[in-house]
Structure 1
Amino acid sequence: MEFAKFFTQAEAQRIHEASLEILENIGLLVHNEKARHIFAQHGCTVDTQTGLVKFPPQVVEQCRQSFVPKYTFTARDPQFDRVLPDHRPVVVTASSAPNIIDPKTGKERRATSTDIANIAFLINELPAFDVFSISVLADDAPKDQISISRFYPALKNCTKPVRSNTPTIRDLEMVLELGYTIAGSKEAYLERPFINHHYCPVVSPLTMDVESTEAVIYLTEKGLPVYGTIVPNAGLTSPMSLLGTLTMGNAEFLALACLLQMIRPGAPNIYAVLSTVADMRTGAYASGAIETGILQMAHTMMARFYNIPSGGYIGLTNAQTTDAQSGYETGMNTAAALLAGGDLFNMGGLLGGLMAFDYAKAIMDNEMAMMLKQVKRGVEFSEEGLCLDLIKEIGPGGSYMDALHTLEHMREVAFFPKVAGREMRAQWAVSGQLTARDRAVEEANRILSKENPARFSAELDAKVRAHFPNLVAGDAKWEA
């Protein structure tokens, strides 16, 4: 599959060189002391008074030599393991919204651990989603169990790869202890680390924080899966220039990538971004704007330049409800990213610029993701696929409707949606005049009213709950 391109190879090289100029002459403000020490050990210039780190070009180029072209998301059930770029597009839920659209009232409210359990069950059953990045926070979490109250219901109800982050190292250690308990031992977990970690340690412009950076270092040292997302926002935290934002974001990616390679050469990584352009009329965070898709395409080109998997938060929406806006913002940006060669799509379920999860949106995004996977398949060339013998057999004026070939191939050639309606208007009118959102809600109810096949066994659940006193229930509970 040929990819859409904005730049020539020479222009991509110039963007790389400009990023090196930023890192060498302007540098990165690094607040984490351990990171500063690692950078200094590997040839960077560190100002111990200000925390400013400057990267000689040869240091960056040396780190580039150990970049690897693949990244694996490991699942509790090995059949759901996903490798970038082999399984592209790998579709992931968008994550960490504080709120949820209540499926009963339709009102927005704070999300809970029970919501996480329900969403985990839903994502486990939706075929287009490959990774469950925990969609919401848990407002009912005990103060000393903020992160485990998210990971426990997620892992308990989903056998696909589970991904999220933690606010502190103590939380991270508790989450890893949960993984060891589920796996049966620390050794068994380290062989198949089915908890996948993600952070945003670089804060634009050109700053590296303390806690997220600490977590990235901790996980990389242990050989556990982790990657970061770069999030420049043109007009606010990066230049009001698509090329300038790309170049600065690329420099930020290189700085983070160097940290990983300095700790563990060959550490897998993803060139992941959420580069945006602010709506300067109000200062609004416009994650659903078409410029997000354009910037994702440009960053994807740079990822191919470095031969590293790419992707990020693409297919988000600023719509506050699951409507036409939420559809075209998600659809246009994800299609653009796919055509540019993106591998990873954090696109599912959230409204309002990452603020609220909606079950109907998740169902509709699953359908869009199935279409994206269909586009990725494209038109496969073969002599058999030309169908010359069949065309000769049917002849001019004939019908393919009752041909055996049609019956044999119709399900592999065409994607049959459950949300999009294709009936004639008269049939639609007598069947209730359901909208796409109505059908999405019906599908969510159908799935979540079933028995959950992914749920922990009673024995495993008892073991986990004995290890972690006062844990949230973590059960999927649904009333249609």
Structure 2
Amino acid sequence: MEFTKFFSQAEAERVHEASLEILENVGMLVRNPKALDIFEKNGCQVDRETMLVKFPRAVVEKARETFVPTYTFTAQDPKFDVTLPSNRPVVVTGSSAPNVIDPKTGEERRATSDDIANIAYLINELPGFDVFSISTLAEDAPEGQFSLSRFYPALKNCKKPVRSNTPNMNDLKVVLELGALIAGGEDKYRERPFINHHYCPVVSPLTFDVESTEAVIYLVEQGLPVYGTIVPNAGMTSPLSLMGTLVLGNAEFLGLATLIQMIRPGAPMIYAVLSTVADMRTGAYAPGAIETGMLQMGHTEMARYYNVPSGGYIGLTNAHTNDAQSGYETGMNTTAALLAGADLFNMGGLLGSLMAFDFGKAVIDNEIALMLKRLKKGYEYSEENLCLDLIAQVGPGGSYMDLDHTMKNMRTIAVLPKVATREMRRRWEDQGKPDAHSRAMKEATKILSKPNKSRFTEEMDAKVRAHFKGLVAGDAKWSL
């Protein structure tokens, strides 16, 4: 498949060269002591007083030699395993919003573990989503169980790959303990690590933080799945230039990738980004802007240059409700990224610049995801699919409606939406003129009103709750 390109091969090479210049001459501020040790041991120039690390070109190029072209998200149920890029587009929910749009009142409020349980079940049942990146925080988390109160209801109610992060090393190790308990032992968990970890260890511009970097180092050392997202914001933390932001973000990716490959050569990675351009009229964060899609396209080209999977937070919106803005920001940017060859799409369910999850938005995004997957599938070229015999059989003025060929293909050739309306206006009026959001909420209610057949068994749940005292309930329950 040919992809949309902004750059010639020579221009992509220049972006790479410019990134090397930044790493070699400007360097990166590295606040994590372990990372400083790793960089120094592997040939970087490390100033312990300033914590500045400079990367000789040869060091970065050596790391590039061990990049691998695939990344797998493992699930509790193997039928949900997905691998980049062969299963692209892999669609993931947006994650870690503090708030939720209450499905009863329509008002924004703090999210709870009950919301996570309901969202997990919904995502498990929506076929357009491949990975559940835990969509919200849990305001009701008991003291000392911040991360458990997110991962437990997620894993209890969703058999697809679950992805999220933790705020510190203690929480990370507790979450891994939960994974081992569910798997039936640490060895079994290591065979199929169904918790997928994600962090933003690089803070633009050109800075490694402490806690997230510590987590990435630990997980790479343990051979467990982890990747990072690069998040420059043009006009704020990167130059107010698409090319300048692309080059800075590319340098940051190479800095992180070099650290990972120094620890474990051949460790799988994703070139993941949320590169944005600030709205300089107010300084507002603008992940829904078309420039976010354009930057994703540019980073995706560089990912192909390095032969690694690509993607990130693409298809987000600044809209606070499921209106036209929400639809066109999500639709335009995901389509642009798909045509450029992106593999991973963190696009589902969030409104208001990643601040609030909305159940209706998730159902609508599922429909967009199915459209993206259909677009990726493309035409199925074959002599049989030219249908020449069929066209000759029906002839001019005939009908294809009652043919076996039509019956055979009617559910597979076209996406059959459950939210988008295709009825005549009179019927729509008779139904009360429902808008897309109300139709999406109706679909969410239909799904969530049924018993969750994928939840933990009673025996498994009892084992987990006996091990971790005082856990939140973690049950998917829905009533409107």
State the TM-score bracket (shorter-chain normalisation): over 0.9
1:14 aligns with 2:29: no
In the alignment, residue 197 of structure 1 is paired with which amino acid?
A: H
SS in 2 for 1:144: coil
After the TM superposition, which residues 48-447 of structure 1 pair with which residues of structure 2 at under 5 Å, given as runs?
48-447=48-447
Q: Distance in 1 between matches of 2:366 and 2:419?
A: 10
> 1:398 Cα deviation (Å)?
1.1
In the alignment, residue 409 of structure 1 is paired with which amino acid?
A: N
In the alignment, residue 203 of structure 1 is paired with which amino acid?
A: V
What is the CA deviation profile of residues 160-182 of structure 1, one whole-angstrom value per residue up to 9, with x for unaligned ones? 00000000000000000000110
> 1:137 Cα deviation (Å)?
0.1
> 1:142 Cα deviation (Å)?
1.4
Q: Distance in 1 between matches of 2:407 and 2:2?
A: 31
1:451 aligns with 451
What is the CA deviation profile of residues 34-53 of structure 1, one whole-angstrom value per residue up to 9, with x for unaligned ones? 00100000000000000000
Q: Distance in 2 between matches of 1:4 and 1:48?
A: 44
What is the CA deviation profile of residues 192-244 of structure 1, one whole-angstrom value per residue up to 9, with x for unaligned ones? 00000000000000000000000000000000000000000000000000000
Q: Distance in 2 between matches of 1:421 and 1:130?
A: 25
Q: Distance in 1 between matches of 2:30 and 2:470?
A: 38
What is the CA deviation profile of residues 337-396 of structure 1, one whole-angstrom value per residue up to 9, with x for unaligned ones? 000000000000000000000000000000000000000011111000100000101111
In the alignment, residue 164 of structure 1 is paired with which amino acid?
A: S
In the alignment, residue 81 of structure 1 is paired with which amino acid?
A: D
Q: Distance in 2 between matches of 1:4 and 1:395?
A: 39
In the alignment, residue 99 of structure 2 is paired with which amino acid?
A: N
> 1:143 Cα deviation (Å)?
2.2
Structure 1 segments of 4 or more deviating over 3 A?
A: none
How many residue pairs align between the two structures? 480
SS in 2 for 1:268: coil
In the alignment, residue 6 of structure 2 is paired with which amino acid?
A: F
Q: Distance in 1 between matches of 2:48 and 2:437?
A: 56
Q: Distance in 2 between matches of 1:103 and 1:470?
A: 27
> 1:397 Cα deviation (Å)?
1.2
SS in 2 for 1:37: helix
> 1:157 Cα deviation (Å)?
0.3
In the alignment, residue 370 of structure 2 is paired with which amino acid?
A: M
SS in 1 for 2:371: helix
Identity of aligned residues (%): 74
Q: Distance in 2 between matches of 1:296 and 1:98?
A: 25
SS in 1 for 2:66: coil
Q: Distance in 2 between matches of 1:141 and 1:426?
A: 49
SS in 2 for 1:411: coil
Q: Distance in 1 between matches of 2:478 and 2:439?
A: 18
Q: Distance in 2 between matches of 1:180 and 1:414?
A: 42
Q: Distance in 2 between matches of 1:408 and 1:459?
A: 43
Q: Distance in 2 between matches of 1:471 and 1:183?
A: 19
In the alignment, residue 236 of structure 1 is paired with which amino acid?
A: M
What is the CA deviation profile of residues 84-135 of structure 1, one whole-angstrom value per residue up to 9, with x for unaligned ones? 0010000000000000000000000000000000000000000010000000
> 1:411 Cα deviation (Å)?
1.2
2:30 aligns with 30
SS in 1 for 2:423: coil
Q: Distance in 1 between matches of 2:156 and 2:396?
A: 58
> 1:300 Cα deviation (Å)?
0.2
Q: Distance in 1 between matches of 2:64 and 2:334?
A: 28
SS in 2 for 1:469: coil
Q: Distance in 2 between matches of 1:459 and 1:343?
A: 37
SS in 2 for 1:198: strand
In the alignment, residue 82 of structure 2 is paired with which amino acid?
A: R
Q: Distance in 2 between matches of 1:245 and 1:378?
A: 32
Q: Distance in 1 between matches of 2:404 and 2:465?
A: 55
Q: Distance in 1 between matches of 2:401 and 2:414?
A: 14
Q: Distance in 2 between matches of 1:347 and 1:161?
A: 16
Structure 2 runs not aligned, ≥5 long: none
1:460 aligns with 460
In the alignment, residue 66 of structure 1 is paired with which amino acid?
A: T
